[in-house]
Structures are given as C-alpha cells and as structure tokens.
C-alpha cells in the first residue's frame, strides 16, 4: 500500500463567485507573489518546473485560451443552467489574470 499522499491535479481549480475582478488568491502559494492568482506570479517560478520562460508562457497562454474558449459549453454540457453559468463566469474569465 502506498503511504504517501498527493494533491489532486485540480486541487485549486474550483470555481467560485469572486469578491474582486482585479485580484484573486489561490489556496496555495504558487510564485514570488505568494497566492496571487495571475499569470505573472505563476510564471515567476517557471525554472522550478524546468521550463524556460518562453515554454512556460506558451503553456499558460494555451491554457488561458482553452479555458476562455470552452468554459461555457463545458458547463452547459455538464448540466449547469445558463443562469448559474453566468453567475460563475468570472471564475473562468478573470480580467485580473493578465494584469
């Protein structure tokens, strides 16, 4: 039996209704600015994942584009009502992520 524990890959990706459109915090520290959920903070620790800045930026930009393009249809296909999808829209399309 494996006695080690691991975080789920989607540990910190639970959508919620935000308090701020400019600043969001994650549950875990993820970069030089602690828990601040924005691209600059996430990219600040690219070397710890053995990525150069260009590779890390490509990954973050691709993920952002994928989420922005598919969040709505994914929610609706999973049975989320239009009203609820719109209520949590800003959990997926967060302007402060690019600040």
The answer to whether the beta carbons of residues 9 and 20 sit under 8 Å apart is no
Q: pLDDT tens digits, residue range 17-68?
A: 556 666 777 777 888 998 888 899 999 999 998 999 999 999 999 999 999 9
Query: How many other CB atoms are there within 10 angstroms of residue 8's CB atom?
Result: 7
Q: Where are the domains of the chain?
A: 39-98
pTM confidence score: 0.70
Specify the 3-state DSSP secondary structure of 31: strand
- 48 φ, ψ (degrees, to nearest 5): -65, -20
């Amino acid at each position: 039996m494996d006695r080690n524990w691991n975080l789920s890959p989607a540990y910190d990706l639970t959508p919620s209704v935000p308090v701020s459109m400019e600043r969001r915090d994650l549950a875990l520290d993820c970069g030089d600015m602690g828990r601040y959920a924005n691209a600059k903070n996430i990219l600040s620790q690219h070397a710890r994942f053995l990525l150069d800045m260009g590779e890390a930026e490509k990954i973050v930009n691709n993920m952002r584009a994928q989420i922005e393009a598919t969040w709505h249809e994914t929610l609706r296909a999973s049975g989320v009502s239009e009203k609820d999808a719109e209520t949590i829209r800003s959990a997926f399309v967060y302007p402060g992520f690019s600040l």
